[in-house]
Amino acid sequence: MASGFVKIAMDEFNSHTTNNWTGLLMRYWTIVEEEFADDRAKVYPLMDNPLPTLVLVGAYLAYVLVIGPLHMRDRKPFQLKNTLIYYNACQVLLSGYMFYEHLMSGWLFDYNLRCQPVDYSDGYQSRRMLNLCYIYYLSKLSEFADTIFFVLRKKKSQVSWLHLYHHSLTPIEAFILVKFLAGGNATFPNILNNFVHVCMYFYYMVAAMGPQYQKYLWWKKYMTELQIIQVLHLDCTFPLHPSNKACGVEYLPDGGKGHKKILPRFYCIIRTS
């Protein structure tokens, strides 16, 4: 693979077209796709290459950081009570469905936590997991609405660096999952994420119903602690997977460094809640 990259670079230099970065990047992407990509993923919208996902992430950041605040600058904040209730209810149902599907697609009976290679066949279970990973990807795009609602309600304090980091990165990670690793150990963090999101969006749904329901949200602190447990679990288990080449995920990036940056911020949230 490295020799292929060198050959492309030399060809571009010799043809005096090294300034054509778009063409060069597309040729690099072609090599990566041919070497590692799951051919089954090509049938899904937005899965041909990462550009559509990156454009959507860029549009999301442009709206929540620039366009949205400018639009709302001289306007009163929207209440969006019913919208938030229905949106969060839908996210609870979607996350619950994905949690169930992850279990039934392999993790409940067939998968091995220590070493589970990706099944790239056209079998029923492998296809079921691939479809689920794509739904998971779409769900991450739908979560852009979390921030958009904050902007429309003028909840500027909620649009933190950590919030933007999370919502910008997860669609890209989900794209990589569908395109290259739709199955095996790479899908286990999704189960934890789905479970946490069921609890989280249920909390948001009840909170949106009004002050009279606040007495039922005594478990808010435990919600944040549950998120910390999720991050700690990824730190403990993800480094194990790339070290086992028999699992077929030796090129899977270790997300531990990013999680270590996030964890202290979660701790601060608990201390101030």
- φ, ψ dihedrals at 253, nearest 5°: -65, 145
Given a contact cutoff of 8 angstroms between Cβ atoms, the answer to whether 54 and 169 are in contact is no
Burial profile 152-162: b = 16 or more Cβ within 10 angstroms, e = fewer: bebeeeebeee
Residue partners of 114: CB distance under 8 A and separation at least 6 = 240, 244
Given a contact cutoff of 8 angstroms between Cβ atoms, the answer to whether 227 and 266 are in contact is yes
Q: Is position 166 annotated as part of the catalytic site?
A: yes
Alpha helical stretches, state H, the chain: 2-14, 21-36, 51-62, 68-72, 81-102, 124-142, 144-152, 161-180, 188-208, 220-237, 256-272
Catalytic position from the list 163, 166, 233, 259: 166
Burial of 201 (0-12, 13-18, 19+ CB in 10 A): buried
Coil/strand/helix, residue 112: coil
The catalytic residues are 166
